[in-house]
């Protein structure tokens, strides 16, 4: 078992729209202070996405984490578009059950939705995921994993969808010279009367140093406009950077820009921090 760090505690005080910006800035300042005081990395900690599985900010890789490895993390997502502004803080747990099987759970401990008429805040929904590696990466084939996502409704609208959603996905990754490419294909079966949705993410992980990686993600997300809880939607381009601090801690910050004037979230700010045990 690796030596871990004490879990971080986030205090959210929201008074107006600038309060969301201050929360994100505080998150960034905290992790930058950790950079200044931490030593160099001696091993690679886990890097999980916003909802628990290993990967970039939203994409997940085609491999699974080592058996017995545990990651505990927290993330932040601030989203703004023409319809509403919102923020989500999920806490996550990721565990390598075997060398080929990985589980993750994420709970939205804080969620805010403001459409100019109503401003609601509280907890959100629970997300469960499983990913199974079916193909190791080699010269001819990418590393490939198949997975299942389950969203359990724990909150009323607009903080939750009040429906159980299920999706199946395939994740592939492959080294291309010094860059790692990632492809996610996901088919969503939303609860209620919504039609089935297709989602994909194309991602690049670009190493900068032994402790720093940049990422670029092209994201196509479902367009569930009648579901207020779906804050992050449409086609977006997201870029970010992650930093390893010692053998147990990884954090990252990123930003996303909407690509469709009428169908995408306009802008998103992202942060994440993960402790490996």
State the CATH number of the domain containing residue 97: 2.40.160.40
Can you list the alpha helix ranges (DSSP code H) found in the chain? 17-37
More confidently predicted of 3 and 92? 92
Range of the domain at 240: 17-276
- CA pair distance 203, 115, nearest whole angstrom: 31
Q: Note whether residue 270 is domain-resident.
A: yes
The model's confidence at residue 194, banded by pLDDT at 50, 70 and 90, is confident
Q: Note whether residue 26 is domain-resident.
A: yes
Counted domains in the chain: 1
Q: Note whether residue 250 is domain-resident.
A: yes
- CA pair distance 213, 33, nearest whole angstrom: 18
What is the pTM (predicted TM-score) of this model? Answer: 0.80
Buried b / exposed e across 91-110, counting CB within 10 Å, b at 16+? bbebbbeeeebbbbbbbbeb
Residue 158 preceded by cis peptide, ω within 30: yes
Q: Note whether residue 251 is domain-resident.
A: yes
- CA pair distance 125, 45, nearest whole angstrom: 27
Q: Note whether residue 10 is domain-resident.
A: no
Per-residue pLDDT of 122-171, as tens digits, reads 998 999 999 999 999 998 899 999 999 999 999 888 787 788 999 999 99
The model's confidence at residue 195, banded by pLDDT at 50, 70 and 90, is confident
pLDDT at 9 over 50: no
Q: Note whether residue 12 is domain-resident.
A: no
Q: Note whether residue 66 is domain-resident.
A: yes
DSSP 66: P
What average pLDDT is seen over the chain?
83
Per-residue pLDDT of 169-193, as tens digits, reads 999 999 998 899 999 999 999 887 7
Q: Note whether residue 7 is domain-resident.
A: no
Q: What is the pLDDT of residue 44?
A: 82
| Cα–Cα distance list, 29 to 26, 192, 252, 253 (Å) | 5, 41, 12, 11
């Amino acid at each position: 078992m690796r030596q871990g760090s004490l879990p971080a505690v986030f205090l959210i005080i929201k008074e107006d729209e600038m309060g969301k910006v201050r929360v994100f800035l505080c998150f960034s300042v905290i992790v930058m202070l950790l950079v200044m005081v931490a030593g160099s990395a001696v091993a690679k900690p886990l890097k999980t996405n916003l909802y628990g599985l290993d990967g970039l900010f939203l994409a997940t890789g085609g491999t699974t984490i080592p058996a017995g490895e545990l990651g505990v993390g927290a993330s932040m997502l601030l989203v703004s578009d023409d319809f509403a502004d919102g923020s989500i803080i999920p806490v996550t747990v990721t565990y390598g059950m075997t060398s080929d099987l990985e589980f993750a759970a994420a709970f939205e401990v804080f969620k805010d939705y403001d459409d100019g008429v109503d401003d609601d805040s509280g907890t959100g929904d629970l997300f469960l995921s499983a990913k199974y590696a079916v193909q190791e990466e080699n010269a001819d084939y990418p590393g490939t994993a198949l997975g299942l996502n389950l969203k359990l409704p724990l909150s009323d609208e607009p903080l939750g969808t009040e429906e159980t959603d299920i999706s199946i996905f395939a994740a592939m990754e492959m080294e291309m010279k010094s860059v790692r490419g990632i492809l996610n294909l996901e088919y969503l079966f939303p609860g209620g009367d919504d039609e089935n949705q297709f989602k994909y993410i194309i991602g690049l992980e670009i190493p900068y140093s032994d402790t720093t990686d940049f990422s670029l993600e092209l994201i196509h997300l479902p367009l569930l406009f009648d579901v207020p809880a779906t804050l992050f939607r449409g086609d977006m381009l997201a870029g970010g950077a992650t930093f390893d601090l010692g053998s147990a801690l990884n954090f990252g910050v990123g930003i996303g820009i909407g690509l469709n004037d009428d169908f995408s979230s306009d802008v998103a700010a992202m942060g994440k921090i993960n402790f490996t045990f």
